[in-house]
Amino acid sequence: MLRRNIQLLTLTLLSAAAFAAPRAEAVEIIDQFTNAPDLFGNPALFQTGGTIGEVAGNLVVTDTYEPGVSATAVWTSSNINLSVDGDPTDNYFEIFVTNLVGTTWGAVLTVGDGGTPVASPFQAIGFNQQAYVFPYSAFGFIDFSSIDTITLALFNASDSGDLISVDYLTAVPEPGSAALLTLGLLGLAAGSPRRRVAA
């Protein structure tokens, strides 16, 4: 009886942990900007009022003209699956800014699944050595199991000479709580002692 109560308590704790603990991340690297193709291959680069290019493992945009620069990197592929459990609630894209000159930078991420692409809200970028996140939920009804285009647009509306350097773009589709709970239950079942049959 005591053993059964201990098992029930363990089951309860595992269930709570599955819903409360940080989830393991299954990171998909869209681009590390090393001039070698990643998940989507090398992007097409476009700019107005400045320069954009891959430099020393970073995507670097420089504002060379008043009043600003607009630059985009466009990745295209076919039916890339960026979804784990079909629930986009806690999943996100992430860029990491390693260097920033100027205070008026911003970014928009646009994702397409073969239909009309959907853009994220404009995100202000004000600090270097910092990650900036674009939640999957910002892209409405996009089918993350069949992505064919991703566009990162970087903007600056200030002085020439301003610069932004991005180290990577990743997608972080996380497993759902139900999957973690299932793993916990399997672990509990595997660890349960078996009763001996009386001779």
Give the chain's mean pLDDT.
79
Peptide linkage before 67 cis (omega within 30 of 0): yes
Q: What is the CATH number of the domain that holds 72?
A: 2.60.120.430
Domain that holds residue 47: 24-176
What is the model's pLDDT at position 3? 53
Residue 88 domain-assigned (yes or no)? yes
- What separation in angstroms does the CA of 41 have from each of 32, 56, 116, 146, 191? 11, 17, 22, 16, 44
Average pLDDT of span 129-148: 94
pTM of this structure: 0.75
Q: How many domains does the chain have?
A: 1
Position 131 in a domain: yes
188 domain residue, yes or no: no
The reply to whether 64 falls in a domain is yes
Q: Kindly state whether residue 19 falls inside one of the protein's structural domains.
A: no
Most confident of 1-10, 117-126, 185-194: 117-126
The answer to whether position 142 is within a domain reads yes
80-137: pLDDT as tens digits: 999 865 555 679 999 999 999 998 899 999 999 999 999 999 999 999 999 999 999 9
Which pLDDT belongs to residue 22? 41
Q: Domain for residue 58, yes or no?
A: yes
The one-letter code for the residue type at 133 is: V
